Amino acid sequence: MLNVSSTTDQERPMLPIRIHQFHGSACLDTGSKTSIAGAQLYKLLISCGEPFIDKDVTIKLADGNERRVIAKQFNIVIHLQSKEIQTSMLAIPEFVNSRTLLGADFIKAAGMILDFAQNNWFFSNNPETRYGFLTEEIANSVPIDAIQGSDLSLRAHEGETLHNNEHDRINPLLNEFADTLSRPPRHSDSICTAAVDLPVTDGSKIRSLQLEDADLRKIIEALESTDDPEQDHAKSYADTKRIPGPNYKVGDKVLVATHALSNAKQGYTAKFAPRRDGPYVIMKKVSPSAFQISSLQSPDVPLGTYHTSSLTPFTNNSVNSDPAPVRPIRKKGRPKRM
């Protein structure tokens, strides 16, 4: 009968282990008589062709209920530090979210002495050398149910400037770095920065190579076909709420914003001054939003350049001639002082 504990990963001591060429971490569970292979470790053992036998076992869950299941028993070698431990592990295929547990059988076979007070452990035949348990952060970063083999190599278009012998030497070096950095660190390990200086490919060349990939090109085209209509729709919707500005042309009569200033000494206040004055005539279009104006009496003499926001179309409802400006604009662009 197996006891399945409900202890959380944060409360369990974790160990870095290696099975075949794969590195990972597993939980120590002194309350379990038998070691249990997690769901991903079970898939890994199957993919590696490890032999197994079917076994009918009864498990006891955390709520006290017992359940009979068909488990698969593996006899494997687990590498712990510098020691190889031959042990058996049970895998329950229907438990798809289970983690790997190292039970009392593994602890006894390895000759481990656990010192929870000091948060470390050692082999019974070598008490001078002590090893620490993995911290929660490290254990979560390299779980045994997420281990994968590394197969790194340069792409076809990478390393074009290298000689043949240099190109052949880099691929094993990349895999060596990947294998080393994928292992969980130990207290005795020293961490250093490793870097490989590879040739840099021009960005435009990378883009052209990416477009040669049919799948990637389809993704880019799909994104562009979706993004452009959405932008056009957003712009057209915003344009419906915009008030179109007047389309001025040369010869149109306009009123000009005065921006009058108060003068207390002369008893003049801008509060009662006209906000616009004129009319004036547009003499020249300087830019799409700026116009040069002149007076009606001297249409060839420019008085200044004004933005379209300072101009208002002039409409004369009187049959008589156009009125004269109240405060005519001087040539430098400011009305004459009162």
DSSP per residue, 2-31: EE-----TTTS-EEEEEETTEEEEEEE-TT
Secondary structure in 3-state letters for 106-148: HHHHHCEEEECCCCEEEECCEEEEEEECECHHHHHHCCHHHCC
Per-residue pLDDT, 335? 54
C-alpha–C-alpha distance, residues 150 and 107, integer Å:
30
* Interatomic CA distance for residues 8 and 23, integer angstroms: 22
Question: CA 79 to CA 122: how far, in whole Å?
Answer: 15
Q: Are 63 and 5 in contact (CB under 8 A)?
A: no
Within the chain, all domains assigned CATH 2.30.30 are found at: 252-313
pTM for the model? 0.40
DSSP character for 329? B
Cβ–Cβ < 8 Å for 69, 94: yes
Q: Give the pLDDT of residue 7.
A: 45
CATH number of 252-313: 2.30.30
Distance separating alpha carbons of residues 223 and 322, to the nearest angstrom: 59
Q: How far apart are CA 32 and CA 65, in angstroms?
A: 16
> According to CATH, where is 2.40.70.10 located in the chain?
14-141
The average pLDDT across 152-167 equals 69
Average pLDDT over residues 4-23: 70
Cβ-based neighbour number of residue 241 at 10 Å: 6
73-82, 94-103, 131-140: range with highest mean pLDDT:
73-82
Give the integer Cα–Cα distance in Å for 34 and 101: 8
Q: Specify the CATH number for 14-141; select among 2.40.70.10, 1.50.10.10, 3.40.50.720, 3.40.228.10.
A: 2.40.70.10
Higher-confidence residue of 15 and 319: namely 15
Selection from 117-121, 189-193, 215-219 with the highest mean pLDDT:
117-121
